[in-house]
Amino acid sequence: MNNSNMAPQGPSIIEEHQKLIIGTLKRLTKGDWKVLILDATTKDLVYNTVKEDDILNQNIANIELIEDKREPNPTMDAIYFLAPKPHIVECLVADFQRDCYKRGYLVWVGVLGRELQAKVGTISRHKIAVWETLLIDYFPRESHVVTFRDPWSFPILFHPACNEMVKKHLEELAHKIVSACITLNEYPKVRYYKPKDPIHEASVLCGFLARFVQKRLDEHKGNMRDEWPLPSPRPQGILLITDRSVDLVAPLIHEFTYQAMAHDLLPLKDADKVTFHMKINEGTAAEEEKDMEIGEGDRVWLENRHRHMKDTIDKLMSDFNKFIAQNPNFTDKESDTTSLNAIKDMLAGLPQFQQMKEAYSLHITMAQDAMGVFQSHKLADIGSIEQTMATGLDEDSKKPKNVLEQVVRLLDDEAVTLEERLRLICQWVLFRDGVIEDDIKRLLAHASLPPSDFETVQNLHFLGAQTTRPLKGSRQPPPPVFPRNTKTAAENDELALSRYEPAIKHMLQDACNGALDQTLFPYVVPPMDANEDAVGVQSSLRSAAPRWASANRRQVENHQRILVFMAGGATYSESRTCYEASKELNRDIYLLTSYMLKPALFLKQVKDLTADRRNLNLPCDRPPPRPPKHIYERAAPPPQMQRPAGGPPPMSGGGPRPGPAPPGGGMRPPTKALGAMTLSSGGGGGGGGPSLSTVSSQVSQMSSVGGDSYASSSAAGGSEGGRHKLTKDKEKEKKKRNIFGLKK
Find out whether 592 and 568 touch, Cβ atoms under 8 Å.
Answer: no
Contacts of 141 (CB under 8 A, 6+ apart): 147, 596
> At residue 72, does pLDDT exceed 80?
yes
What one-character DSSP code corresponds to residue 100? Answer: -
> At residue 715, does pLDDT exceed 50?
no
**Which pairs count as long-range contacts for 446-455, CB under 8 Å and 24+ apart, including other chains?**
446/408, 446/411, 446/412, 447/411, 447/418, 447/421, 447/422, 448/418, 448/421, 449/418, 449/421, 449/422, 449/425, 452/607, 453/422, 453/607, 455/607, 455/610
Question: Tell me, what's the pLDDT at 210?
Answer: 98
Q: What is the rounded distance in angstroms from the CA atom of residue 35 to the CA atom of residue 737?
A: 12
Question: Tell me, what's the pLDDT at 341?
Answer: 65
SS3 326: helix
Question: Tell me, what's the pLDDT at 536?
Answer: 54
Per-residue b or e along 316-347, where b marks 16 or more CB atoms closer than 10 Å to that residue's CB? bbebbeebbeeeeeeeeeeeeeeebeebbebb
Question: Tell me, what's the pLDDT at 529?
Answer: 75
Q: How far is CA 222 from the centre of its chain?
A: 30
pLDDT tens per residue, range 497-552:
899 999 999 999 999 999 999 999 999 999 887 666 654 555 554 444 444 444 44
Q: Give the count of beta carbons closer than 10 Å to the beta carbon of residue 494.
A: 15
Question: Tell me, what's the pLDDT at 150?
Answer: 96
Read off the pLDDT band of 64 (50, 70, 90).
Answer: very high
> At residue 708, does pLDDT exceed 60?
no
User: Where does residue 723 rank: exposed (0-12), middle (13-18), buried (19+ CB within 10 A)?
Assistant: middle
SS (H, E, C) 560-601: CEEEEEEECCECHHHHHHHHHHHHHCCCEEEEEECCECCHHH
Q: How far is CA 652 from the centre of its chain?
A: 53
Find out whether 80 and 105 touch, Cβ atoms under 8 Å.
Answer: yes
272 against 477, higher pLDDT:
272
Q: What is the rounded distance in angstroms from the CA atom of residue 589 to the CA atom of residue 307?
A: 19
Distance set, CA 56 to CA 77, 277, 338, 669 (Å):
15, 31, 48, 11
Find out whether 28 and 105 touch, Cβ atoms under 8 Å.
Answer: yes
Read off the pLDDT band of 674 (50, 70, 90).
Answer: very low
Query: Taking all residues of the chain, what is their mean pLDDT, rounded to a whole number?
Result: 82
Question: Tell me, what's the pLDDT at 358?
Answer: 81
pLDDT tens per residue, range 358-408:
888 899 999 999 999 999 999 999 999 999 999 999 988 899 999 999 999
> At residue 204, does pLDDT exceed 90?
yes
Please state which of the ranges 208-222, 287-301, 468-482, 659-673 shows the lowest mean pLDDT: 659-673
Question: Tell me, what's the pLDDT at 495?
Answer: 72
Read off the pLDDT band of 479 (50, 70, 90).
Answer: confident
pLDDT tens per residue, range 48-62:
999 999 999 999 999
User: Where does residue 725 rank: exposed (0-12), middle (13-18), buried (19+ CB within 10 A)?
Assistant: middle
**What sign does the CA torsion over 726, 660, 641, 697 have?**
positive
Q: If you count them, how many residues does the chain have?
A: 744
pLDDT tens per residue, range 579-637:
999 999 999 999 999 999 999 999 999 999 999 999 999 999 999 999 999 988 876 66
Find out whether 526 and 553 touch, Cβ atoms under 8 Å.
Answer: no
Find out whether 271 and 596 touch, Cβ atoms under 8 Å.
Answer: no
Question: Tell me, what's the pLDDT at 688?
Answer: 42
> At residue 320, does pLDDT exceed 80?
no
Read off the pLDDT band of 355 (50, 70, 90).
Answer: confident
Question: Tell me, what's the pLDDT at 33?
Answer: 95
